[in-house]
Structure 1
Amino acid sequence: MEAPASGVTFNTETNAYVRTETVNLSITNNTTHEVGYNLCFLRIDRHVEGTWQASQNFPDFCEGDTLRLEGGTNVEHNLSMAETMPAGEYRVVTYIENPLGSDRQQVETAVFSLKD
């Protein structure tokens, strides 16, 4: 996958999950400088009737401080979808600082499906 203009990619491991599976996420810094990320802002959006609606937040990931991600490296995180979430199309959203210390920019994964 080609890196977006920001040089940071945010991906899921696959494009379809069963409700009981763990969603594997990776943030990859394809730049030569440090970027910041903070999973306090992580959320899952569900695609409903043509719009994205926040479905689940993950305050348990919140470490308070912005974490550093060196240029050319990546970090992986796993999250469990709530068993009550209906089947459908979803994306995971968070924010990065690119470069570290700048204003936050939203990044989101590609759309993935959640199946029963």
Structure 2
Amino acid sequence: MEANVPDYRRIVVRGRTALEQAGHFTIRVFAQIQGVSGDSMASQGDVGCCYVNVEDACETGCVAACERASYNAHSASAKQDCTMACIRACVRPDIPLGRFTTTVPTNK
């Protein structure tokens, strides 16, 4: 692969954040990566696991789901792009909780 050329066709991330009780947030993330040589989907989220703020929930959930999906799709460049897109979609100042979705296409 050439430098700076993504080795994926598309990334789709969907998720949901929720306030379970005061100061305890949960997240569920689904990351799908359509790689050049294979596709993969991974999820992350624990019902019993709670985070003290939405940002921590988003970062932890996004990193874990994107890491597994990119590894299984054999797409090294997708991990960072997936993680950053997921965190940006998940952490929204105007709507701090609820469902989120984002897509990262390439021009390949």
Normalising by structure 2, we get a TM-score of 0.39
